Amino acid sequence: MKPLELSYYLEEHKEQLDPLLVLTHDYPDPDALSSAYALQYLAETIGIRAKIVYGGDIGRTENREMARLLKIPARKLRSSDFKFYPNIALVDTQPGFENNSFPKKRRAAIVVDQHTGTAEPAADFISIAPDAGATSALMARELLAKGIEIPIKLATALVYGILSDTLDFYRVTNRDTIDTYFELLPLCDVRVLARIQNPSRPRRFFREMVVGIRNAQIRQRVIVSHLGSVENPDLVSQMADFLLTCEGNLWAMCTGRHRDNLHISLRTVQTDIGASELLRSIVENPRFAGGYGQVAGGKIKIQSQKDKEEWEEIEKVLTEKLVKRLKLKRNTQFTPLLRQSLIEPPAEKESEHD
């Protein structure tokens, strides 16, 4: 998106776009929340009423802290929203993606995203920049170019959105994104930023992380972990990011069972193979997978939620397809990340008096 391109569009179509519904993906991460916050603010400075909504839940502890501390006015989507708001803007997602609640028969007014799709989205204004590293970087550039005052809470949200989606710039090569970050940094509240990045976590988080590590297996330079049932799909992507840091690995794939979907996250440090392209090639329906660069996510609908064997079979097939697609050596096999002796507690010694 060229600077001020979105602003000009909003100003030119001000009357038609008022009011505007800003929709994120169902389980919004910091990038989605900050981008939506920025679009709402930009629209309202132009005179367009806007409301931020999401279809699922804000899952991760950090994301909930971000929304709470920065007072981001994001609300759970209501079915009546689509009736009241004739214009819908999608941020960090697109029409046709299976990670949002956008009605399939509607046409979007605006799409601002960094992810690549299988087809051009049906929208009046489209800005998709896969090399941006974060959708929040696109929205931040727009605000900075317009020269309007950026409130401290919004600046903090955008800084965190950029940091979290680029893994502290580990997966970004775009110089514009780095420059945008440094322009925003003096405007944000670094103390609040630190509180968001280091929240108090519930005990279940550590239990789920233990399960992810315990179930992790490595074959050559690929690490895979099937988490089983998860309270929130966000844990799947969080675990994939974490496992990718395991020394010597180039790829990490995690899955998690949530309601009637098996959620999948794929990560890589390689740049010659796109993670989204690879994930689309191993799931049954490519429409249910997407991403950008070294990051990809998707889901598979499960017909019989209570059928344990169906879940396990799909997890097994996914792993086998990943192995085949990455052309791993046939004479190798998956081995546990941790030895059994490191997982099980030591046996109690018998007392001399027993």
CATH superfamily of 5-197: inorganic pyrophosphatase (n-terminal core) (3.90.1640.10)
Query: Where are the CATH 3.90.1640.10 domain residues in the chain?
Result: 5-197
Say what the pLDDT of residue 351 is.
44
> Does pLDDT of 1 surpass 70?
no
Say what the pLDDT of residue 344 is.
54
> Does pLDDT of 354 surpass 50?
no
pLDDT in tens, 168-206: 787 777 889 999 999 999 999 999 999 999 999 889 889
The yes or no reply on domain 203-336 and CATH 3.10.310.40 is yes
Q: What is the 3-state secondary structure (H, E, C) of the chain?
A: CCCCHHHHHHHHCHHHHCCEEEECCCCCCHHHHHHHHHHHHHHHHHCCCEEEEECCCCCCHHHHHHHHHCCCCEEECCCCHHHHCCEEEEECCCCCCCCCCCCCCCCEEEEEECCECCCCCCEEEEEECHHHCCHHHHHHHHHHHHCCCCCHHHHHHHHHHHHHHCCCCCCCCCHHHHHHHHHHHHHCCHHHHHHHHCCCCCHHHHHHHHHHHHHCEEECCEEEEEEEECCCCHHHHHHHHHHHCCCCCCEEEEEEEECCEEEEEEEECCCCCCHHHHHHHHCCCHHHEEEECCEEEEEEECCCCCCHHHHHHHHHHHHHHHHHHCCCCCCCCCEECCCHHHHCCCCCCCCCCC
Say what the pLDDT of residue 345 is.
53
Say what the pLDDT of residue 341 is.
45
Say what the pLDDT of residue 189 is.
97
pLDDT in tens, 67-105: 999 999 999 999 999 999 999 999 999 998 889 999 988
Q: What is the mean pLDDT of residues 15-42?
A: 97
Reported as a pLDDT band with limits 50, 70 and 90, residue 347 is: low
pLDDT in tens, 319-344: 999 999 999 999 999 999 997 545 55
pTM of this structure: 0.83
Query: Where are the CATH 3.10.310.40 domain residues in the chain?
Result: 203-336
